[in-house]
Chain A
């Protein structure tokens, strides 16, 4: 019995020695840095990311594994990994909905802590400064440390029917008044609706659709998050103007079932030719010109979402950022940095664009590719990106989103008035902020 045990121990030691020898040998013939794993979600832009990663592998000889998940599953797998003792994933592709959770929880390392020489290319869009986090002040502001590199700069754009506009001799609408006039003009229900809005209640559905209206009319949800003032300003006169405008558009130039329309159905209305305008995340662009998916090939044009005269366009961010997990070995963190260093170059971003992706490097938008018909969304997007709004700067935002989803949906469905909805939501959001001990206050209720 004892003899056997000894023997097996010796075997183990021999095996371990062999294994060590194996690893010691590896760099001679294999990758120059440790292989890394990236967790990402499936999406229309994933294919371009995959091709870009393949290009990196071919150029550098380093290995990158992609764990591709359904959209709803990506956050779950990231949370599981970063909360374990040792993480599975080196690079997390984080959505605007959860990057603050990862920053504030200490789950991703500042990039400059891993490699002090790492610098963000000055032409990379910083997207409402969401790549930075100030841990002391707990704010997402440029005075913080660099936490991530943008991967996909998604924001909503106005999709409109260029063919109808050309026929009527119109130009792309810049203001809400123009949008309303044009939507009414093209409103011929049930064959075609002037605009189709995304009014359904969902994970982040009607609220996300509402931000360009809210911020474009000069409203907002909080007073000044960057300085730590979370006073609720949702029920301001501007907020009321925005919501009443949204509802008027829905009732008088929109889909009769706006309160039930989700993202897929809004896109469906557009590609089947039943909508003259939609406001939709730019990621859906490739479906518009695909004859297998669209009955309006080559007819859609893009513009920044409208705003009030004197105010800039104000699309809400729905972007993706790449951060490096805290709980992985140092050599893998360094490999991950190498990948990000390469990924943010203009050359890599141009490759992304050519593969159908949406580049995060401003330089790409002035390349010849941006003049191609196929990429006609690039110029308006580049115009809008510097104005993109980071709607939430705190990790508990999903509770606020849940309040907005329900309140806005009920107002659009006509269950309650816009004023009651705004006052009610402001009350609830205020309670949420108070619960988590943020500095907050309330406006006088609207009447």
Chain B
């Protein structure tokens, strides 16, 4: 259909479009990170050229009132555990609902219920969960927040994993089963390799949502368990928005998360695909 040259110029065009989009996406991000290296007055004056300062990062990381490293650790604990729990539960549930012989109404009612749950405004949810957590002593604990975040992301994860699971050819599962594989073996060796990209994408989103979740994290935590968004929100004070420190902490919050996600994505996809035996 297309010669070497036109294929090449088509690839060039694609790269051009992608690069243009990348520039639009990245300018505000670069601007945010750069704001972390500026003085507040330089930022407020809208100066384009500035002498970088490291005081914002120093303040965020090491000042006496800032617990950023602690918040960071907390966010990692909550983000990773809640994502792992959420994805495991959602994958099993999606597979169960779409591939096992549940009565149709159970599937529909449950899926609709998760979606309705997802629509509850955070104000309403946070208060109710606080009361429950306080009653059983799970307020101000990681367990409470991990369960809360896993549940918050469960509807999305179940629906998304549902799409992936339905892509798995039924004949493949059945063939494996006729070959005598038991349930976990079919899941591990047949289903997971096929839905690996879906799992990776869903896991990234679940992690990011947990990483940035504010309303529930605020109510269920105190000083020792507070997460990064709770810490960052403190920079938007009444009477003073500390833009530069906010930007510095946002930069600190983005970059490792990004690295983690890229590694995680490769690892998840690779790890799961390797389960398949050709």
Asked whether any CB of A lies within 8 Å of a CB of B in the complex, the reply is: yes
B131 close to A73 (CB less than 8 A): no
A76 close to B65 (CB less than 8 A): no
- Which residues of the other chain, A, contact B130 by a CB distance below 8 angstroms? 80, 84
Q: For the side of the interface on A, what is the size category?
A: 35 or more
Which of B41, B126, B222 is close to A293, meaning CB atoms less than 8 Å apart? B41
- Which residues of the other chain, B, contact A41 by a CB distance below 8 angstroms? 237-238
A284 close to B55 (CB less than 8 A): no
Which of A69, A84, A263, A292 is close to B55, meaning CB atoms less than 8 Å apart? A292
Q: Taking A73-B230, A80-B130, A272-B41 as contacts, is the C-beta distance between A43 and B237 under 8 angstroms?
A: yes
Q: Which of A21-61 contact B (CB under 8 A)?
A: 41-44, 46-47, 50
**Shortest Cβ distance from residue B220 to the other chain A in the assembled complex, whole angstroms:** 10
In whole angstroms, what is the CA distance A67 to B231 when docked? 12
Interface string of B152-182 (1 = CB under 8 A from A): 0000000000000000000000000000000
B240 close to A284 (CB less than 8 A): yes
Which of B41, B127, B241 is close to A292, meaning CB atoms less than 8 Å apart? B41
A71 close to B44 (CB less than 8 A): no
**Shortest Cβ distance from residue A171 to the other chain B in the assembled complex, whole angstroms:** 27
The chain B residue sitting closest to A47, CB to CB, is B65
Q: Does A403 sit within 8 A of B, measured CB to CB?
A: no
Most buried by A among B126, B233, B237: B237
B223 close to A76 (CB less than 8 A): no
Q: Does B31 sit within 8 A of A, measured CB to CB?
A: no
B218 close to A76 (CB less than 8 A): yes
- Which residues of the other chain, A, contact B219 by a CB distance below 8 angstroms? 76-77, 80
**Shortest Cβ distance from residue B27 to the other chain A in the assembled complex, whole angstroms:** 22
A69 close to B234 (CB less than 8 A): yes
A281 close to B45 (CB less than 8 A): no
- Which residues of the other chain, A, contact B236 by a CB distance below 8 angstroms? 70-71
A44 close to B139 (CB less than 8 A): no
B40 close to A292 (CB less than 8 A): yes
Q: Does A121 sit within 8 A of B, measured CB to CB?
A: no
- Which residues of the other chain, A, contact B65 by a CB distance below 8 angstroms? 46-47, 50, 68
Q: Does A295 sit within 8 A of B, measured CB to CB?
A: yes
Q: Taking A84-B134, A263-B239 as contacts, is the C-beta distance between A294 and B41 under 8 angstroms?
A: yes
B234 close to A88 (CB less than 8 A): no
Q: Does B39 sit within 8 A of A, measured CB to CB?
A: yes
Q: Does A224 sit within 8 A of B, measured CB to CB?
A: no
The chain A residue sitting closest to B56, CB to CB, is A292
Q: Taking A68-B234, A69-B234 as contacts, is the C-beta distance between A287 and B240 under 8 angstroms?
A: yes
Q: Which of B224-278 contact A (CB under 8 A)?
A: 230, 233-241
Q: How many inter-chain contacts with C-beta < 8 Å in the A-B complex?
A: 91
The chain B residue sitting closest to A71, CB to CB, is B238
Most buried by A among B45, B235, B239, B240: B239
Q: Taking A263-B238, A281-B239, A293-B40 as contacts, is the C-beta distance between A88 and B233 under 8 angstroms?
A: no
- Which residues of the other chain, B, contact A43 by a CB distance below 8 angstroms? 237-240
In whole angstroms, what is the CA distance A268 to B239 when docked? 11
- Which residues of the other chain, B, contact A272 by a CB distance below 8 angstroms? 41, 44-45
Q: Which of B121-150 contact A (CB under 8 A)?
A: 126-127, 130-131, 134-135, 139-140
In whole angstroms, what is the CA distance A43 to B126 when docked? 24
Which of B222, B223, B237 is close to A71, meaning CB atoms less than 8 Å apart? B237
In whole angstroms, what is the CA distance A294 to B234 when docked? 21
In whole angstroms, what is the CA distance A272 to B40 when docked? 10
- Which residues of the other chain, A, contact B44 by a CB distance below 8 angstroms? 268, 271-272, 293
B127 close to A80 (CB less than 8 A): yes
**Shortest Cβ distance from residue B238 to the other chain A in the assembled complex, whole angstroms:** 4
A44 close to B239 (CB less than 8 A): yes
Interface string of B176-206 (1 = CB under 8 A from A): 0000000000000000000000000000000
Which of B45, B126, B140, B233 is close to A72, meaning CB atoms less than 8 Å apart? B233
In whole angstroms, what is the CA distance A267 to B238 when docked? 11
Interface string of A55-99 (1 = CB under 8 A from B): 000000000011111111100110110001100100000000000
Q: Does A264 sit within 8 A of B, measured CB to CB?
A: yes
Q: Which of A357-398 contact B (CB under 8 A)?
A: none
Q: Taking A69-B218, A76-B219 as contacts, is the C-beta distance between A42 and B41 under 8 angstroms?
A: no
Q: Does A283 sit within 8 A of B, measured CB to CB?
A: yes
In whole angstroms, what is the CA distance A66 to B219 when docked? 15
Interface string of B31-54 (1 = CB under 8 A from A): 000000001110011000000000
In whole angstroms, what is the CA distance A80 to B55 when docked? 36
A295 close to B41 (CB less than 8 A): yes
Which of B41, B234, B237 is close to A271, meaning CB atoms less than 8 Å apart? B41
- Which residues of the other chain, A, contact B139 by a CB distance below 8 angstroms? 88
**Shortest Cβ distance from residue A178 to the other chain B in the assembled complex, whole angstroms:** 26
The chain B residue sitting closest to A292, CB to CB, is B39
In whole angstroms, what is the CA distance A291 to B42 when docked? 10
B222 close to A67 (CB less than 8 A): yes
Which of A70, A84, A88, A280 is close to B230, meaning CB atoms less than 8 Å apart? A70
B239 close to A77 (CB less than 8 A): no
Interface string of A255-274 (1 = CB under 8 A from B): 00000000110011001100
In whole angstroms, what is the CA distance A72 to B140 when docked? 19
A295 close to B218 (CB less than 8 A): no
- Which residues of the other chain, A, contact B39 by a CB distance below 8 angstroms? 292-293
> B residues touching A (Cβ–Cβ < 8 Å)?
39-41, 44-45, 55, 65, 126-127, 130-131, 134-135, 139-140, 218-219, 222-223, 230, 233-241
Please name 15 pairs of A and B residues whose Cβ atoms are closer than 8 Å in the assembled complex, sorted by A: A42-B235, A43-B240, A67-B222, A68-B65, A70-B236, A71-B236, A76-B127, A76-B218, A84-B130, A85-B134, A267-B239, A284-B239, A287-B240, A293-B39, A294-B41
Known A-B contacts: A77-B219, A283-B238. Give 11 more (CB < 8 A). Answer: A42-B234, A46-B65, A50-B65, A71-B237, A71-B238, A73-B230, A76-B218, A80-B130, A267-B240, A268-B44, A284-B239
Ranked 6 nearest A-B pairs via Cβ:
A70-B233, A42-B234, A293-B40, A283-B239, A71-B238, A292-B39
